[in-house]
Chain A
């Protein structure tokens, strides 16, 4: 990381040069997101100007934001977790079965979701941290297990009819913003409960990473394990906590996903782990560890889903366009990261 010793009257370029990797990547992400959204407003007009369009992006991606936050944490310590999509599916299915077939209570189902997440996080974290097994292979097994268990719990997709759950699902939080619809009636824009959960998590994690000892030790472990050890940081414990938190967030994210879709299915959240990894990368989290920012991750999810919306509203709704545009975007950001890394080495 570069030292912030520039004089106050240094040129703009100097300021850019003296940004840390984290803030530089964060800036790039936010700038690209804003440009993209402005472009969408200019070229595709109307729809993107509505506050509700933006809120719909949030509503649909609240779960992904939570999952991506978890992934950012493990990526900052230099690990990876690809089980989050599977855990999401397992949480949805387990809660759905509990609520419908066993007539359960919606609040107990939240505990079930949390318990599944914590169990996955703790088990994977223990294997990664204390047995020194590669995180990729451990969480790959976790993903396999979660997906398989989902089918074992129930193999057919179904909608949840539980009253308490549907009440919670339909809870909408109206905001002072709004727009008039085609009939000229003023409709206030709303967000779902999941968005509130996601935003709270984003803020909490941001504070955790920025101002707590634990958060700083995440960066230290990811940046250089040996120096972290010499600084007196318990590397194994830090790794374990990161994976535990990621698993827990996957449980919460799973429930938020479930709350949004209101059904259980083995094919739920297919590829969500890849979306979450991609969002983290776009948000400026370095795969090599030690660099990353939760706010960036938040914007990463927004960028990924905005581009999807742009593609859809441009009439290119064939399935393959989404895949290709997202891949191009991921590729672009990976190359930006690679360039940033090269800049660091030059110094």
Chain B
């Protein structure tokens, strides 16, 4: 009897863990791929067009392409926790950041022979621009008390237009090899650079959360705004700060995205990435209504989404049909994790237990 009790409590604990659902999804995906085609996990060592040694394989693709999503998930988690809403303008903001980057790098000429400014300067300018747009969203949310999703709808509508306007609707091409390193490979290193950038971002946010009160304050504001105000916090400022941090993430993603192709396509770059970023947060078991958050779970969620995407691509699912499959996954996830269904399950297990005892 005591044994079964232990077992149920262990099982309960396991199910109660925030990591339970993301890890479960990951396991299902891994097992599916193992059965369907084990070559999914093969990592090959080869050389790319430029003659550099590179690693290739589906897993590397996941890590590589998942970088942008993981970086955005960091900012999105903070915004979600602080404001209880989501920023749907990140895709458009990435277009703005990327466009700014190109504008500074290429100057007014869209086909320059050499860089018009150092990459670091261009990147910093794009960071500042992205932070300003983040602050704009943040002010609308924090001071005008507009729901985040709707406040960011403004930038969502205008963002890609602004991005096109920054470069006079031209598509500048960045000259030189150096710029491609950020989205491709650094000669001699076989792992794609975006992976390192993502790791760097993750380490930075981990350190920030560990050594500052950012996490605590954000959660306090998200859980109860007026209570946090009574405790001497400034909820509005913290909300704006979370949007500004998301702005920094957006600029980093803009750098990677633009570097991947050395140019930009305003209407396509980072399309629908906002939805994936929100999904990453939800998949990580974080409440979309704000409050407590788990950064690691969001980041794992981001890579799982990329895992799913890559798996679907492997089975020749066209890019446009992808959302339908994702939607099914999302619906299953939210239904499983909804409080009503959870209650129903726990009642069911209780009933079973009573029967056992009898």
Contacts of A138 in B (CB 8 A): 331, 334
- Check if B262 is an interface residue, CB within 8 A of chain A: no
Cα A334 to Cα B159 in complex, Å, equals 17
10 tightest A-B contacts by CB? A148-B324, A323-B161, A327-B158, A320-B161, A145-B327, A144-B323, A144-B327, A151-B320, A148-B323, A338-B144
Given known A278-B157, A324-B165, A335-B144, contact A144–B338 (CB-CB < 8 A): no
Contact check, A155 vs B318: say whether CB atoms are below 8 A apart. yes
In the assembled complex, which residues on chain A have CB atoms less than 8 Å from the CB atom of B326?
A: 141, 144, 148
Q: Is B278 an interface residue (CB 8 A)?
A: yes
Q: Which residues of A approach B to under 8 Å, CB–CB?
A: 80, 127, 130-134, 136-138, 140-145, 147-149, 151-152, 155, 266, 271, 274, 277-278, 281, 287-288, 318-324, 326-328, 330-331, 334-335, 337-338, 341
B27 within 8 A of A: no
A129 to B: closest C-beta gap in Å: 10
How long is the Cα–Cα vector from A144 to B312 in the complex, in angstroms? 15
Determine which residue in B146, B151, B326 has the highest number of CB atoms from chain A within 10 A of its CB, and name it: B146
Residue B289 lies at the interface, judged by CB distance under 8 Å to chain A: yes
11 A–B contact pairs at CB < 8 A? A131-B341, A155-B321, A271-B157, A274-B156, A287-B150, A288-B147, A323-B158, A330-B157, A334-B140, A337-B146, A341-B145
Asked if B289 and A274 make an inter-chain contact with CB atoms under 8 angstroms apart, the answer reads: no
- Inter-subunit contact A141/B334 (CB<8 Å): yes
**A90, chain B: closest CB distance, angstroms:** 10
B44 → chain A closest CB, angstroms? 31
B330–A137 touching, CB < 8 Å: yes
Q: What's the Cα separation between A44 and B349 when bound, in Å?
A: 71
A-chain residues with CB within 8 Å of residue B318 when the two chains form the complex? 151, 155
Complexed CA–CA distance, A277 and B147 (Å): 13
Residues of B within 8 A of A331 (CB): 140, 154
A287 to B146, CA, bound (A): 8
Q: Is B214 an interface residue (CB 8 A)?
A: no
Cα separation A80 to B149 with both chains bound (whole Å): 10
Q: How far is the CA of A281 from the CA of B147 in the complex (A)?
A: 12
Q: Does B118 contact A (CB under 8 A)?
A: no
User: Do residues B322 and A324 form an inter-chain contact, with CB atoms below 8 A?
Assistant: no
Chain B 136-173, CB-CB to A under 8 Å as 1, else 0, gives 00001000111101110111111111101100010000
Known contacts A131-B340, A151-B318: A145-B328 contact under CB 8 Å:
yes
Is B288 located at the chain interface by the 8 A CB criterion? yes
Cβ of B117 under 8 Å from chain A: no
| Other-chain contact of B288, A134, A277, A323 (Cβ < 8 Å) | A134
For residue A133, which residues in chain B have a CB less than 8 angstroms away from its CB? 334-335, 338
One digit per residue, 1 when the CB lies within 8 angstroms of any chain A CB and 0 when it does not, for chain B 327-358 equals 11011001100111100000000000000000
Cβ of B345 to closest chain A Cβ, rounded Å = 13
When distances are taken between beta carbons in the complex, the residues of chain B under 8 Å from A137 are 278, 282, 288, 330, 334
B357 to chain A, nearest CB (A): 30
Given known pairs A130-B340, A144-B324, A324-B162, the reply for A281 and B154 (CB within 8 Å) is: no
Partner of A330, one of B153, B165, B278: B153
- Whether A148 contacts B321 by the Cβ 8 Å rule is yes
Contact status B149-A141, CB under 8 Å: no
